[in-house]
Structure 1
Amino acid sequence: MGHAVGDVLGLAAGVAVSPLPIVAIILILATPRGRLNGPLFALGWVLGLTLLGAVMLAVGGTGDASTHKHPATWVGALKLALGVLLVLFGAHQWRRRPTDPSQAQLPKWMAAIDRFTPPKVLGLGLALSAANLKNAPLTIAAGASISSAGIPVPQQVGTLAIFVITASLGVLAPLGVYLIMGERAKSVLSTWRDWAAQHNVAVMAVLFFVLGLKLLGDGISIVA
């Protein structure tokens, strides 16, 4: 199990460093219903990662992802494909990064986030975790790594839980600060929000490149 955990921790860290979801939960916490909607957003985020990871574990189990405790060839091919995808996304993000970070613009839907109903906030958390162009490939890759590690199902579930918890730290940190500090958290969260908003594109581009290259290396080593 230790080997499987080591394989997915880097991927989990890549998911945790997600500037846009961090900005989203900080904006949600600043709304009148922040104490309700903030935990709902975090719940949606955790559910999204858990469901996507669980699906990949099920696919890996039925697809014989592990052969004599070694990853199957299709797992290597999957990681190669995901690695190429992330590198291409990284190149696209780098080209569209603003030359002046202070001019960075957030998605238009964030302007209406104070009017989001609880179900919509829950759905937003699900979407930003399981349907995100960075987080979805990384979660799929993590599920493939776990299912191909040749460990029993209970250990696979435990490893997935460690991945989800680690991958959720970026979203859970603002929520924890808000719940502990209350009104005093506004200045701290405002600083976090401004930094994440200004450097979102650049951070995402670098993460796409680095994690894409990692998956490419993993895929090549398995296929070769």
Structure 2
Amino acid sequence: MGQALGDVLGLAAGVAVSPLPIVAIILVLATPQGRVNGLLFALGWVVGLSALGGVMLAIGGAGGSSTQGQPATWVGGLKLVLGVLLILFGARQWRHRPKDTSQAELPKWMAAIDRFTPVKVLGLGLALSAANLKNAPLTLAAAASISSSGIPSGQQIATLAVFVIIGSLGLLAPLAVFLFMGDRAKTVLGSWKDWAVRHNVAVMAALVFVLGLKLLGDGIGILIS
């Protein structure tokens, strides 16, 4: 289990560093029902990561590792494909980054967050985790690594749970500030939001590119071993 955890910790950290979802939950917390909506957003995020990872574990099953205890060929192929996709996505993000960070803008749909119903807030958290162009490949790759580790199913589930917890820390930090810092929360979260908006594209591009290279290397290593 220790090796499986080591394989997914970096990927979990990559999921946790998600500037745009962090901005989204800060905006959600600023709504009239901020406490309830923030909890629903976090719940949707956790459910999204857990469901996507769980599906990958179910697909991998016992076929994730070969008879020699090494990752199966399909795991290497999956990581290679995901790595290439992340590299291309990171390169595209870098090319389209704003030259002046003060001119960075939020997606238009974020302006409507204060009118979201609780169900929509839950769905937003779910979408930003399981359908995110960065987080979905990282979660699939992590679950594939867990599946290929050859550890018992109970330990696989526990490892996935650790991945989800670490991958959710970026979202849980603003929620904890809101719940426990009282009047200071507005100032702290406002500064976090401003930083995330200005540097979202650059951070995403660099992070995705580096993690894509890692997955590409992992995939090639599995395929030629």
TM range (shorter): over 0.9
Q: CA deviation at 1:86?
A: 0.2
- CA distance in 1: counterparts of 2:3 and 2:80, whole angstroms: 20
Match of 2:201 in 1: 201
- CA distance in 1: counterparts of 2:27 and 2:142, whole angstroms: 29
Match of 2:81 in 1: 81
Match of 1:120 in 2: 120
Match of 1:66 in 2: 65
Aligned length: 223
Q: After TM superposition, list the pairs within 5 Å mapping 1:1-224 onto structure 2.
A: 1-61=1-61, 64-67=63-66, 68-224=68-224
Q: Which moved more, 1:180-189 or 1:162-171?
A: 180-189
The C-alpha deviation readout for 1:10-57, integer Å capped at 9, x for no partner, is 000000000000000001111111011000000000000000000000
- CA distance in 1: counterparts of 2:46 and 2:183, whole angstroms: 25
- CA distance in 1: counterparts of 2:102 and 2:214, whole angstroms: 31
- CA distance in 1: counterparts of 2:182 and 2:29, whole angstroms: 10
- CA distance in 2: counterparts of 1:75 and 1:182, whole angstroms: 47
Query: TM-score, length-normalised on structure 2?
Result: 0.98
Query: TM-score, length-normalised on structure 1?
Result: 0.98
Structure 2, unmatched stretches of 5+, are: none
Please report the RMSD computed on the Cα atoms of aligned residues, expressed in angstroms. 0.6
- CA distance in 1: counterparts of 2:69 and 2:10, whole angstroms: 21
Which amino acid in structure 1 is aligned with residue 122 of structure 2?
L
Which amino acid in structure 2 is aligned with residue 79 of structure 1?
K
Which amino acid in structure 2 is aligned with residue 143 of structure 1?
A
Percent identical residues: 76
Q: CA deviation at 1:69?
A: 1.9
- CA distance in 2: counterparts of 1:43 and 1:137, whole angstroms: 20
Name the SS for the 1:53 alignment partner: helix
